[in-house]
Structure 1
Amino acid sequence: MRPHVELIQENDYVWHSAELVGGEGRASERRLSVDEEDGSSSLRVDFHTDWGRGPGIHHANTEYYVVEGSMTYGGKEIGKGGYVYAPKGVPTDSITFSEGTRILHYREYGDAGFDPVDSLYAPSWADAREEVIVVDTEARTWDAVPVQGPMPGLFIKYLHVDPITGFYTRLVHSQEGWTEHRLAHHPCYEEAYTLQGRMEGNFGTMDVGTYFFRPARVKHGHFTTPEGGTTWLLRSDGELINWYTQNEWIRWGGEAVNYGPGGGRMRWSMSSHDVGRGTPLRDERDLKDIQASIEFQREQGQPDAGFVSHGTGVDKSLIAIAKAVDAADLQGGHGHGPGGGHEHDHDHGQADWGADPRDLEHPDERTDEHSHNVGRGRAWKEGQPIPAPIPSTLPVRSRSTGRWSGDGM
């Protein structure tokens, strides 16, 4: 499984010699995200000379997207926005890149292996099931995103959709003013590289060259889109269903053994609210757009708790704990008024959180082959329990993206 990466600026990362087996030419890669168990990788590749490779079979579902420069596949040249999807185990034609070309390069469910073949008529692997896709994305038009939930203003160009797993790659454009003031999580992973523009969110500023890989069920949102909008290449390993959270909080603590006053014992606790104290507030434009998002949801008849800048106001964890304890007390039969006696059998240390934690998990997450990874994406079906979000307390960040405020932790 890949770690949670959010956010990194690619210019902070070192270059490696590109792992492009069997090619002729020189290229370097930045490793944005890597799964060391199966070889899946998301890479930014620069070609320092003309580079090429003949027909062959990839060991992974492989994608090439031209950020700048040109690519030639099977004799057809495509410039900026050119895209090729080469399925695992399927013979692919020759491919070349001109000197100076910059691409995004993805491998999924396999490593960089490549087996040369004499022609496209070579046999496919027994389990191969998709076909090669070649797209000039610059020639395509934008379609409005059909997903219900967020306010209008997102547009999409589909590049590849796996008809069985739902895995898909697409270009997404957020127009100026598009906002999502809530936090969403999904049953699948999500990753994106910013190609154009800028967006603000709970993990910071996403501008050109920033990248994230977000495991399934990690919360994200509080998005605003400034002037000019923004465009990403975005991928996910399943259907991207939106489940929303508001009034989010996390609190942790313990008892210090030897780091209290004078080196002694001490009870202590912190919260995501504490981490966010002193964080610069959203500017006036952001707050105006956030209010428009709130009003949109209320116009749709959706209950909405509004928005409070992270680290300001009352610590939500304290409010939530007090409510949970009060709810447990009321269910136990002793309120604060007359008749609140103690002739009952319940644990005074309990709190009522409104749901059994067992109802907030995917039914297979403790027993399937990926049970060692809580954040592993799992296909979700209507009628199953909706899994709750998972915490993300230490995502991988690079120096240019600054300190994370803990917003949405």
Structure 2
Amino acid sequence: MLQQLDLTNNKISGNIPNEIGALTKLQSLDMSVNNLSGNIPKEISALTNLQALGMSSNDFSGYMPREIGNLTVLQTLYLSTNKLSGPIPSTFWHQSGLVDLALGSNNLSGEIPPSICNLRSLQVLYLSDNNLEGSIPDCMGNLSTSLVILPLNENKLSGLIPSSTFTKGCSLQSINLDGNKLEGTLPQTLVNCQDLQAINIGDNEIRDVFPVWMETLPLLRIYILRLNKFDGAILGSSNTENPFPKLQVLDVSHNVFVGSLPDRYFKHFRGMIDSKENYTDDEENLFVESISLILTLKGLDQLLERLLTTFTIINLYNHLLEGQIPQSNQLSTFGNESYMGNAGLCGFPLTRKCDRSDEKPSLQQEDDGESGFVNGFGWQPVVLGYGCGFIIGVFMGCGIIHYERPRWLLKFIFG
């Protein structure tokens, strides 16, 4: 008559016994965060009263059993962070009440089965960090009014981002497509997702101009376009009075944008200017619990696993920005490494001076014309090198004189 069994956060190892199928009254079974291994037994399909099944963070391997589709009253299925392989079973059409489906961080392959589109109650579809191929199913639009979190990042998905995914009444809060092979343009139907707080399409093959139309989204906090083929000017014509009102993270690095920086945006980034603008009830915010992103900070890719309400960043790395850095209290506090990838910049706080006549970069450096100062190589390493060389030379000279070996030294040098 057992209805709930919770074995989470232990050190249980070995296989799940086939006798698990005898617990036919079970409604909740959670074995997450253990050392369990082997295949998921087919006998688990006998637990027809099961509403929640958790097996995440173990060492399960092999294929996902198709018999999981027989669990018709299942609401949550957590199998992420294992070693499962093979395709995702196409037997999900029986589980119309499924709310959370987490299969991320496995070795799953093949395509995303269209049967997932039958899960009309689905709120979280976590498929990231696998080897999934093919395109995003066009039928994903069937889930747009229920789906809240959609992480598909770090796979091998290709083709276009289907515009039909974002229909009117879209309830999506977070979309992560980073690290795939998607191409084409960013669909403008995304404006239907008025609750969208984060979108990450970094490290793909998207070719488009800067999506100015995204500035109307009232809750957008993370906007990542890095490592794509966006071009043209960042700032387009728009009549939006308060663009990107909640934005905290803007990463457009590693693209080919041209033209002037969008000062109109910088002046209206209320989410960056006043951190109180971003206050949310984090305890009940599904978006904050699920967000993770990779940012290029000081030339290094770093994983940010949680977005703090006070965290703000504008990333323009590797864009041939040029000219004098504006003299302000804020920009003057950053060192050379904060301006990496933009060799045309000059002026304080960089060691590269600007030509006063046209404010373009000059190769003439402070106190010295050596090209070693270019690209942030400052005077401190040079002084240190000269100082060490001087001290070593003095000691060598004293040793030579003390041991009366100047003739030997001259013979060694000049033969």
After TM superposition, the score normalised by the length of structure 2 is 0.26
Between 1 and 2, higher relative CO (CA 8 Å, sep ≥ 6) is seen in 1
More helix per residue? 2
More strand per residue? 1
